[in-house]
A = this chain, B = another copy of it.
Amino acid sequence: MDKNIPYKTYLEESEMPKQWYNVRADMKNKPAPLLNPATLKPMTAEELGVVFCDELVQQELNTTDAYIDIPEEIREFYKMYRPSPLVRAYCLEKALGTPAKIYYKFEGNNTSGSHKLNSAIAQAYYAKKQGLKGVTTETGAGQWGTALSMACAYFGLDCKVYMVKVSYEQKPFRREVMRTYGASVTPSPSDTTNVGRKILAEHPGTTGSLGCAISEAVEVAVGSEGYRYVLGSVLNQVLLHQSVIGLESLAAFEKLGEKPDIIIGCAGGGSNLGGLISPFMGQKLRGEADYRFIAVEPASCPSLTRGKYAYDYCDTGMVCPLAKMYTLGSGFIPSANHAGGLRYHGMSSTLSQLYDDKLMEAVSVEQTKVFEAAQQFARIEGILPAPESSHAIRVAIDEALKCKETGEEKTILFGLTGTGYFDMVAYQKFNDGEMSDYIPTDEDLAKGFAGLPKVD
């Protein structure tokens, strides 16, 4: 091992970020604004305030302030599970025989099991500050719902979670964690909302989708006194909160006197990737440093690598604003064999713009290769990774093996967003040799694109 680089680097609590970083402030081409689906005009703060907490609306629309203070109460909560470690993967390097230095920022050491808690606690805080009774949300794989239920328990807020039905049934333990934290969990589509009843009538027996669960959660928030809707990814406000990942990583690298060459993150809606790369991207945008950024998405849900950059609905029920993003169309649902999260049809507007401006690369990977990397990583580095995070592991290993061929001593940083303790059904499939891959055909994608709204 390198003499001055420990396995794990933790910042002191006094070194933890006191402000989030808003990458939009440094972007020349700003991400496109959300549009009102009725008027096709940019959503105003007032319109957004019906759905979202006031302070979060301000953060959503703020494209100019590079730094936004993290309230004291949130920083105190962060101290319960942060700073997260920046880990040098010595054992993995040795096993691969690569000259590359591999680092990962590990966000899984908290009960929600992922980075999602970073934004959940912020959103719950602003809801509490606004005097709300509670919040509604959707969850797919369950990480976001778990994180939000923890945050709501901490601030004494009611928490209503709409959980994609297939996950609700396959992951009873995720549900039980949320219940332990006092949240109510409803399988979606449900008969508790208009949009849920409509979808059930049109598609009896459907196992649900993230887009559908979003529609239900929004409907309940808008129709209930003292409630707002909160979302765990895609939105600018979420990327803002998640910047704490990148800020801590940057500070840790500076402490070590190191600098990454390649930064890799898995990408579903973009919350982890956006949070991890933001401060580094800021340096690149300001011409202070250069990095390669790689977004990794599943081949079964390839919004960046095969999607269109267009305005689209954020949800299946089309009750949400339109967002300009790389998208597969709001009607796109990944094949049933797809395990874990990273199943959203679109991608954060901010990341979409950065990708369109060629400031970031994207690759897609097939899930059997992802689980091979997951198993290899688990056995070598001792952490059982979430399927989502394992997308980043796959590409980090691939890049490290390229270095082995070329002899280059590159420094690789990837985001290890979470643990796979609630994903053992997927691991079991892999262990039993029953996991399969799926790559949508161009015809499959064309169906999704056909549902894109016409916006000039």
Q: Which residues of A contact B (CB under 8 A)?
A: 6-8, 10, 12-13, 77, 79-81, 91, 109-111, 113, 150, 153-154, 172-173, 176-177, 179-182, 375, 378-384, 419, 421-422, 424-425, 427-428, 431
Distance to closest chain B CB from A249 (angstroms): 17
CB nearest neighbor in B for A121: B382
Apart from A154-B379, A154-B380, 5 more pairs, CB < 8 Å: A7-B13, A111-B384, A113-B421, A172-B428, A177-B421
Q: B180 to A431, Cβ gap below 8 A?
A: yes
Q: Which residues of B contact A427 (CB under 8 A)?
A: 176-177, 180
Q: List 6 A-B contacts (CB under 8 A).
A: A110-B382, A113-B421, A173-B421, A176-B427, A177-B427, A180-B384
Question: Do the beta carbons of A383 and B111 come within 8 Å of each other?
Answer: yes
Chain B residues near A77 (CB, 8 Å)? 382
State the CA gap A111–B389 with chains docked (Å). Answer: 15
Question: What is the predominant secondary structure among interface residues of chain A facing chain B?
Answer: helix
For residue A80, which residue of chain B has the nearest CB?
A: B382
B-chain residues with CB within 8 Å of residue A421 when the two chains form the complex: 111, 113, 173, 177, 421-422
User: Which listed residue (B109, B172, B431) contacts A109, Cβ 8 A?
Assistant: B109
Specify which chain B residues have a CB less than 8 angstroms from the CB of A176 in the assembled complex.
424, 427-428, 431
Chain B residues contacting A382 (CB-CB under 8 Å) are: 77, 80-81, 110-111, 150, 154
Q: Please name all residues of chain B whose beta carbon is closer than 8 Å to the beta carbon of A153 when the two chains form the complex.
A: 378-379
Smallest Cβ-Cβ distance to A174: which chain B residue: B424
Please state if B111 and A419 are interface contacts (CB–CB under 8 Å).
yes
CB contacts (< 8 Å) of A182 on chain B: these are 379
CA distance A424 to B181 in the complex (A): 12
Chain B residues contacting A13 (CB-CB under 8 Å) are: 6-8
How far is A109 from B85 in the complex, measured between Cα atoms in Å?
A: 11
Contacting residue for A180 out of B8, B12, B179, B375, CB 8 A: B375
Instruction: Judge whether B431 and A179 touch: CB under 8 Å.
Output: yes
Q: Is the CB of A111 within 8 A of B378?
A: yes
Q: For residue A115, give the distance in angstroms from its CB to the closest CB of chain B.
A: 14
Contact A381 B80 (CB under 8 A): yes
**A375 CA to B178 CA, complexed, in Å:** 11
User: Which residue on chain B has the smallest CB distance to residue A149?
Assistant: B379
Q: Which residues of B contact A81 (CB under 8 A)?
A: 382
Chain A to chain B: the 6 pairs with minimum beta-carbon distance, closest first: A173-B424, A7-B79, A153-B379, A176-B424, A421-B421, A111-B384
Which residues from B are CB-within-8-Å of A428? 172, 176, 179
Interface centre among A79, A176, A177 (most CB of B within 10 A): A176
- The winner among A180, A421, A425, A428 for most chain B CB atoms within 10 A is A180
Least distance between A28 CB and chain B CB atoms (Å): 40
Chain B residues with CB below 8 A from A177, complex form: 384, 421, 424, 427
Residue of B nearest to A81 (CB): B382
Q: Is the CB of A424 within 8 A of B384?
A: no
Report chain B residues within 8 Å CB of A381: 80
CA distance A79 to B384 in the complex (A): 17
Q: Which residue of B lies closest to A421 (CB)?
A: B421
- For A153, the closest partner residue in chain B by CB is B379
Measured in the bound complex, the distance between the Cα atoms of B177 and A79 in whole Å is 30
Complex Cα spacing A91 to B154, Å: 10
